[in-house]
Amino acid sequence: MGRPRKKKEVEYTFSDFAGLVESFKETYIGDINKEKFFGFPISPILKAEKNLISEEENSVAYFSMEFGIAPSIYNTFSLSRPMSNKNKFFTHEVFSNYWLCDYLFKVEIDKMIDIPIYGGGLGVLAGDAMKSCADLGLSVVGIGILWNKGYFKQRFWYKHGQVPEQQAWDPHSYPGLIPLKNIVTLETQEGPLNLRLWKYYVYSHDKKTACPIILLDSNLPENSEPFQKLTDQLYRSDNAWWKIYQRAILGMGGVKALESLGYQVYRYHLNEGHAAFALLEKYVNLKDKDDAGALLKKFVYTCHTPVAAGHDRFKLSDVARILKPEYVSALEEFGKERPSSDEINLTYMALNNCNKVNAVAMKHGEVMRFQFPAFDEKIGFITNGVHTHTWLSESFRKLFDKHKDFFGDWRDNPGRLSRISTLSKNKAFRREVFEAHQENKRQLMSILKGWQLKENIFTICWARRIAGYKRPVLILRDVDRLVKMAYSLGPIQLVMAGKAHPNDNLGAAYIDDILNRIDQLNGYKDVIRVVLLENYDTYFGKLLTNSVDVWLNNPIPPFEASGTSGMKAILNGVLQMSTVDGWVVEAVKDDIGWFFGYQHKGGDIGKESDQHLDEDSKALCDTLEGVMKLYYETNNDGKINIDSPWIDKMICCIEKSAFFNTQRMVKQYQSQMWK
């Protein structure tokens, strides 16, 4: 035996770091110095960079088309110079069934907007995963795209529905976001495509460790005009040209970015098939193609899409107009579902070539195996989660800290929240739980003050991306019955929000439908108040998930791969009313709320368009009757029945959040995917 190999020590200093920042002296010197990075300690950054260039660290690169990082609600950096007004929270309008009198009320929030580079749950999950990687002190780098015009800004026009607008923002004055000198170039059939690298650091909750996210940006003067626009809008889908380029930027540009920074990558984690071109970039540059097997071992893939129709497919002829021939022939080898096909399928490519694959919930794993029987053995599942510190409200944070004898170091280990069950019979504690919730509810009402919502009225919320399978209009399908219930059981406050993809005409039609039904409720505002908020985003995501009494989730099974908004709600003691799909399948035995509606069984996936609306609308109302009865028995105009089973359910919700968090999820990624 020889002497143990001496570890190669890598150095990484502040001047190494500052040397990479574009316009450091002119723009960033006021916020970045040897001690501080936009108000946070800089040492975690130097440590993270040092680890990423070291071969000893087994670092992971996590690719995602979108990242919902939500700095307005968590780990907000400071900026010494003035921030562009474009980065400030804009006015949100709210529609309601008493809009005529209250039309002039708008929501004004004095905050910055969140970096608008996400569309919905997939991006929020990616952001939450990065934050848990930082909390766990792992050497992980995120790869994404700097969407210069965001996803889109949503306006509702009365009688016109959703009107999408461009979302302008200013990356140069966004706190914590820095452009690097590094530029990488993709050689395409239409000429060189240059990409600037940006960085954003995600810090741990205690600010002791950090993970970078690299964002690629084509908005450079040296690019042709069409190329400059490639990174404007997330999920621009007018035609295959946009889609192929956006995926090439993420996958191929991402690999080049990692190399340009000298990062030593042990595992490439593709969050959804969008990033599958990363595999091509690595393969094309292999000197000895016999090493392909070893290369593919480094790739792992998380699939978020439940149905085959949702997967990216491109004609080889379209790809050949964009990518160089060596990439196209590699695609022919790796990306075709059938040898005779003239299309590539990115889901298939990732499934077939990545060493490990995970679905995002148990039920989703089942559904994936039905759809891809050839990969039966390979497809495992790791249930999604949410980042505890981002989504936990202040009132419950205080409550857990107050009882730290029970919860211990719950901040480092959110799994400790399961200990709440030992307090479940303690009357004083039960009162505190209900009061913490009421505090959140009052905060919602004060932000929506124009609408005069009341804290002792039953409040239910549906808010998420507007997509057909999520059935956004289900609760308003039977308006007459809703009115009857409100008269007989007690008043209802319904809060709704969500964006439909700008090219999704069906989605826009759902919004029209909601607006019309709100109109139908005009005469009943004394018993039902409906408010529909513009521009659902992470700020409202947090506000709503922690403040309403019941979180409504009614996708048509089995089309919701996981869903995560309900996990944000249970963390804050907000009860679930849900169909049995996605993550909820793993919690149906728990006392976290009520389950209703069509249930999926067997191997036939069914059609997304077959929505079971009539029977499920009835099931929803039947369930809601019981929910409202129990609510008004629990909260009788401010007189709280502390022994109510409602409070048992609140406590059980929090108990379950000990599992449905990204810390647990990332630990599973680590042990099952990255090892």
Ligand X SMILES: *Cc1c(COP(=O)(O)O)cnc(C)c1O
The contact set with ligand X (CB under 6 A) reads: 120-121, 124, 464-465, 536-538, 541, 563-565, 568
Q: Count the neighbouring beta carbons within 10 Å of the beta carbon of residue 173.
A: 17
Closest CB 464 distance from ligand X, rounded Å: 4
Closest CB 230 distance from ligand X, rounded Å: 24
Nearest-CA neighbor of 483 among 534, 452, 518, 532? 518
Closer Cβ to ligand X, 70 or 652, answer by number:
70
Nearest-CA neighbor of 459 among 530, 547, 569, 548? 548
> Which secondary structure element, helix H or strand E, spans residue 141, and what is its range?
strand 140-145
Closest CB 563 distance from ligand X, rounded Å: 4
Residue 96 CA to residue 496 CA, distance in Å, equals 10
Q: Count the neighbouring beta carbons within 10 Å of the beta carbon of residue 197.
A: 26
Closer Cβ to ligand X, 393 or 634, answer by number:
393
What's at 88, amino acid-wise? K
Residue reference for tokens 């949702």: 310
Closer Cβ to ligand X, 156 or 536, answer by number:
536
Task: Give Cα separations from 672 to 130, 378, 596 (angstroms).
Answer: 17, 12, 33
Judge whether 87 and 170 are in contact, CB under 8 Å. Answer: yes
Closest-approach residue to ligand X (CB): 541
* C-alpha of 537 from chain center: 10
Closest CB 577 distance from ligand X, rounded Å: 13
Closer Cβ to ligand X, 98 or 583, answer by number:
583
Nearest-CA neighbor of 299 among 248, 351, 354? 354
Closer Cβ to ligand X, 124 or 316, answer by number:
124
Across 582-595, b (16+ Cβ under 10 Å) vs e yields: bbbbbbeebbbbbb
Closer Cβ to ligand X, 131 or 336, answer by number:
131
Closer Cβ to ligand X, 176 or 541, answer by number:
541
Closest CB 397 distance from ligand X, rounded Å: 18
Closest CB 124 distance from ligand X, rounded Å: 5
Closest CB 207 distance from ligand X, rounded Å: 23
What's at 89, amino acid-wise? F
The conformational region for residue 92 under phi > 0 = left, psi -120 to 50 = alpha, else beta, is beta
Closer Cβ to ligand X, 38 or 660, answer by number:
660
Closest CB 123 distance from ligand X, rounded Å: 8
Closer Cβ to ligand X, 407 or 536, answer by number:
536
Closest CB 39 distance from ligand X, rounded Å: 25
Judge whether 35 and 42 are in contact, CB under 8 Å. Answer: yes
Judge whether 643 and 633 are in contact, CB under 8 Å. Answer: no
Closer Cβ to ligand X, 114 or 432, answer by number:
114
Residue 482 CA to residue 616 CA, distance in Å, equals 14
Closer Cβ to ligand X, 443 or 516, answer by number:
443
Closest CB 433 distance from ligand X, rounded Å: 23
Closer Cβ to ligand X, 79 or 533, answer by number:
533
Helix (H, G, I), strand (E, B) or coil at 220: coil
What's at 457, amino acid-wise? I
Judge whether 152 and 118 are in contact, CB under 8 Å. Answer: no
Closest CB 64 distance from ligand X, rounded Å: 14
Nearest-CA neighbor of 551 among 361, 391, 664, 424? 391
> Which secondary structure element, helix H or strand E, spans residue 293, and what is its range?
helix 292-296
Residue 655 CA to residue 417 CA, distance in Å, equals 6
Closest CB 466 distance from ligand X, rounded Å: 10
CA dihedral 179, 148, 277, 349 (to 10 degrees): 140
